[in-house]
Chain A
Amino acid sequence: MVGTRRLWSLLLLPGGLWLILLFVAPFGMVIAVSLGTTDILGRPIFGFFPENYQQVFDPIFIPVIVRSLAFAATTTVLCLLIGYPVAYMIARYAGRFKTLLIVLIILPWFADYLVRIYAWIVILGNEGVVNGVLRAFGLSGNPPVIFLNTPFAVVGGLVYDYLPFMILPIYAALERMDPSLIEAGKDLYGTPFQTFRHVTLPATIQGVIAGSVLVGLPAVGDFATALILGGPNTYMIGNLIQDQFTNGGFWPFGAALTIVLMAGLSLLMIFYLRSASRPAEATA
């Protein structure tokens, strides 16, 4: 018994080391930089300069924060609206094609994230695929419909980036759900909508919440999508942080922004974990 326990502790070692080396240590560095300053060559000097944090709460950043949250919320809602029916169709009606369809959903992730965002430039560009199709139907001409560099392109890109993270947990929840519950709902004269509303949705709400967290949190901090597909009016928190490291900025302030963003997202995460553990307690 004790032997097994020791074995399990030993098995934790590689993962633990991994976390310490690749998460705890870098995170510690970020905290240290966020409180420090830099020398003439931009190398961090450690110290205690809490004013780096004070700057984070400058009202100038409010539009950036609001915009990031709005983009992330819109992305989450769109992913849910698109992802739930997809997950539902696969879980309920795909039969032996289930695995294949799930693989197809994950497949684009085998290509690099940035390459896939760049692909949207080709798709949405002024001379791109979408404008070509619209032109064929006489819906776009000269000047073409401008998609790129707009909030639509950014939210579209974000939805595309994170959609699988919504589909997979909902699919898993639907798989776990006993299909006879739906039949029971119908037996009790529930309309399809009532059955969905009172049976299926509550039974899969954990998948919905998990999906929303997996989509919403990274979307708030995403910067590559806004950088590549966005324009002057799509500046997000991630871009602000990035500029601190590359364009007129100051590393410690960028690090402080990072820590504050992480703290904010952690709060949301804690909220999620607590809501997720409640039903577990109830059933236990």
Chain B
Amino acid sequence: MASKLWNDEINRRDFLRGGAALGLGGSALWLAMACGSTSTAAQPSAPTNYPKAEIDGDLEYFNWSEYLNPDAITAFEKKYSVKVNQTNFDNMSAMMAKLNAGINYDLTFPTMDYVEQLVKANALLPIDHKQLVNWSEVPSYFNNPWYDPHAYYSTPYAIWTTGIAWRTDHVPDTLAGSWNDLWTLAPKYGGKLFLLDDFQEVIGMSLLRLHKDVNSGSRGDLDKAVQEVLNIKQYVGKFSTDDITNMVSGGAAIHHAWSGDVYQVLSQVDKPEVWKFETCSEGVPTGNDTFVIPKNAKHPGTALKFIDFMLDPANASANVDYFGYPQVTTAGLQHFNDTIGKQYPFLSLTLDQAIHGVREIVPSGSKLQLWDQEWTKIKAG
């Protein structure tokens, strides 16, 4: 029943975030270990067990549905005379459950928080950049991202930001590009203002609005941020991560939302011109997902070939056209901003923004417990 509900109710991005949140469960290990030995990730040593980037069998591919250009898959199959066996997951927890159950996949697509955990748990095979012809397409920052030092184990895939979406025909007000917009508009648009049902996003944006650390571990900061959310809770139509549906047909006029989902909304509604999206000056939460090769992959060589294939400038651009997210390669980002970003300037997303965006890091240890309590105050209060 529960898993069924997930499949039905929640959209892709939600799964993504819900999944990221689920990662919390994982970090709770530290909580149980009591008196947190602060898990300072020691710089991992360079891996030595690099798989060779050469075709070694059919690819077991495990991704969200409709999250990669099917033409690229067909072209890959043709080019290398292999089959790509596709399996889809609906959320990060489903993906993790299958990985944890030891099912062999050659290639999967976790979000950054999960990569960090998978790397710490030594559950991935390393990716030898030297063997990828198109690795130079990966922007330099992602050669050493925060979640995977030296990018030993992951290749970036798509990026998104969190901001505020609104429809100008219902909300003629001028927005200030600030998280405070939610507070000023709330009393006027009671019931039509929706917040994401995601503890990191909601508490995080409230912290940002108060100019506090988005990953604060201070009870005082969190109490204040949570109280601020409770102050507008009476005007909130719903806490929901199904932001696409809420905006397309669910009566949301103002939505705390993910940029990629906004593009989906724009392509689904009759009058896309009434929708706007802003990121906020106090801080723009930014995230990305990745390609990784699970440790028990049977055909890591084919997986590496596939990653290389998707990094190819022409393939990355065609992929952006298909799924509407900025793929993190030089060509993919460029193409995104030349097309979707041009058409909807408020969706444009530069590499610089992605790098300097605010990182919401899944809390762990006693901090996780604190955040969980504070979130419950919002939900239960």
Asked if A pairs with B, the answer is yes
Q: A residues touching B (Cβ–Cβ < 8 Å)?
A: 37-43, 45, 47, 49, 58, 60-61, 63-64, 114, 118, 121, 125-127, 146, 148-149, 224, 227-228, 230-233, 235, 239-240, 242-243, 245-253
B301 lies within 8 A of chain A by Cβ = no
What residues of chain B lie closer than 8 Å to A243, measured between beta carbons?
A: 375-376, 379
B185 to chain A, nearest CB (A): 15
Docked pose: A149 CA to B381 CA in angstroms? 16
Residues from chain B with a CB closer than 8 A to the CB of A41 are 26, 96, 99-100, 117-118, 121, 123
Q: What is the CB-to-nearest-CB distance from A230 to chain B, in angstroms, rounded to a whole number?
A: 8
Q: Judging by beta carbons under 8 Å apart, are B22 and A245 in contact?
A: yes
Across-interface contacts of B199 in A (CB, < 8 A): 247-248
Residue of A nearest to B91 (CB): A246
* B233 at interface, CB cutoff 8 A: yes
Interface 9-mer from B134-142, B158-166, B236-244: B236-244
- Interface positions, chain B 324-381, Cβ under 8 Å from A, are 368-369, 371-373, 375-377, 379-381
Interface residues, chain B, CB within 8 Å of chain A?
Answer: 1-2, 4-6, 8-9, 18, 21-29, 31-32, 91, 93, 96, 99-100, 117-118, 120-121, 123, 191, 197-200, 233-234, 236-239, 249-251, 368-369, 371-373, 375-377, 379-381
Which listed residue, A37, A125, A148, A246, touches B32 by the CB 8 Å rule? A37
Point out the residues of chain B lying under 8 angstroms from A38, CB to CB: 25-26, 28-29, 32
Interface centre among B29, B32, B239 (most CB of A within 10 A): B32
- In the complex, which residue of chain A has the Cβ closest to the Cβ of B170? A143
The chain A residue sitting closest to B8, CB to CB, is A114
Identify 23 residue pairs between A and B in the complex whose beta-carbon atoms are under 8 Å apart, listed by A's number. A40-B29, A40-B117, A41-B123, A42-B23, A42-B25, A49-B32, A149-B238, A224-B1, A224-B9, A230-B238, A231-B237, A231-B238, A232-B233, A232-B239, A243-B376, A245-B22, A247-B198, A248-B372, A249-B372, A250-B25, A250-B28, A250-B31, A252-B28
Report whether A240 and B21 are in contact in the complex, using a CB–CB cutoff of 8 Å.
no
Could you tell me if A240 and B236 are in contact, using CB atoms closer than 8 angstroms? Answer: no
B251 to A125, Cβ gap below 8 A? yes
- Known contacts: A60-B376, A227-B9, A247-B199. The answer to whether A125 contacts B250 by CB under 8 A is yes
Q: What's the least CB distance linking B12 to chain A, in Å?
A: 15
Q: Which residue from B25, B29, B376 sits with its C-beta under 8 Å from A240?
A: B376
Shortest Cβ distance from residue A45 to the other chain B in the assembled complex, whole angstroms: 7
Among B5, B6, B96, B120: residue with most chain A CB under 10 A: B5
In Å, the complex CA distance between A230 and B1 comes to 18
CB <8 Å contact, B236 and A232: yes
Contact B379 A239 (CB under 8 A): yes
**Complex contacts, A247 vs chain B, CB 8 Å:** 18, 21-22, 197-199, 375
Task: Write out the residue numbers on chain A whose beta carbons fall within 8 Å of the beta carbon of B21.
Answer: 246-249
Q: How far is the CB of B7 from chain A (nearest CB, A)?
A: 9
List of 10 A-B pairs having minimum Cβ-Cβ separation, nearest first: A248-B199, A37-B32, A42-B26, A42-B25, A126-B251, A64-B380, A232-B236, A250-B28, A247-B21, A149-B238
- Report if A231-B18 is in contact (Cβ < 8 Å); known contacts: A38-B25, A40-B117: no
Complex Cα–Cα for A253 and B28 (A): 11
B269 to chain A, nearest CB (A): 13
Quick one: closest A residue to B116, CB to CB? A40
Q: Which partner residue on chain B sits nearest A47 by CB separation? A: B32
B24 touches which of A126, A230, A248, A252 (Cβ 8 Å): A248
Given A148-B250, A232-B379, A245-B2, 20 further pairs, Cβ under 8 A: A37-B28, A41-B96, A41-B121, A41-B123, A42-B93, A63-B380, A149-B238, A227-B5, A231-B238, A232-B234, A240-B380, A247-B18, A247-B375, A248-B21, A248-B24, A248-B199, A248-B200, A248-B372, A249-B25, A250-B25
The closest CB in chain A to the CB of B229 belongs to A232
Complex Cα spacing A153 to B379, Å: 18
C-alpha gap A243/B2 in the complex (Å): 11
Contacts of A118 in B (CB 8 A): 8
Contacting pair B29 A228 (CB below 8 A) = no
Q: Are A240 and B28 in contact (CB under 8 A)?
A: no
Residues in A whose Cβ lies below 8 Å from that of B4: 114
